[in-house]
């Protein structure tokens, strides 16, 4: 009888011992890639990374904004006729270079 109790005690301790190590092994966090901070970009760098958007004929262009649309090849930005607002601040519309006497 004493021999059986010892065997049961050793078996229970072995199961507990294996369970503790099993839990400790599988409860570790999954390794991830280290995060690398990106260098800070100033406004000149960020503008260089984004190509300027192109406006088509008759679309709005220019103005006093960093994201102002530029006219495509063969067109230029002209003031809107009859507008009393300053062209450099508000922009205009894209017109063909062939239609403009000064270009």
- At 7-26, the pLDDT tens digits run 888 888 999 988 888 887 77
pLDDT for 103 beyond 50:
no
Structure tokens at 55: 């406006």
Separation of alpha carbons 78 and 61, rounded Å: 8
Instruction: Enter the pTM of the model.
Output: 0.45
Position 85 pLDDT exceeds 70: yes
What burial class does residue 60 get, using C-beta atoms within 10 Å of its C-beta: 0-12 exposed, 13-18 middle, 19+ buried? middle
pLDDT at 72 over 60: yes
């Amino acid at each position: 009888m004493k021999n059986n109790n010892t065997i049961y005690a050793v078996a229970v301790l072995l199961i507990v011992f294996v369970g503790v190590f099993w839990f400790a092994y599988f409860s570790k966090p999954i390794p991830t890639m280290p995060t690398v901070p990106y260098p800070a970009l100033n406004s000149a760098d960020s503008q260089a990374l984004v190509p300027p958007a192109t406006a088509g004929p008759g679309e709005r262009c220019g103005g006093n904004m960093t994201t102002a649309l530029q006219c495509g090849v063969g067109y230029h930005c002209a003031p809107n006729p009859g507008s009393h607002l300053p062209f450099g601040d508000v922009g205009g519309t894209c017109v063909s270079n062939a239609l403009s006497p000064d270009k």
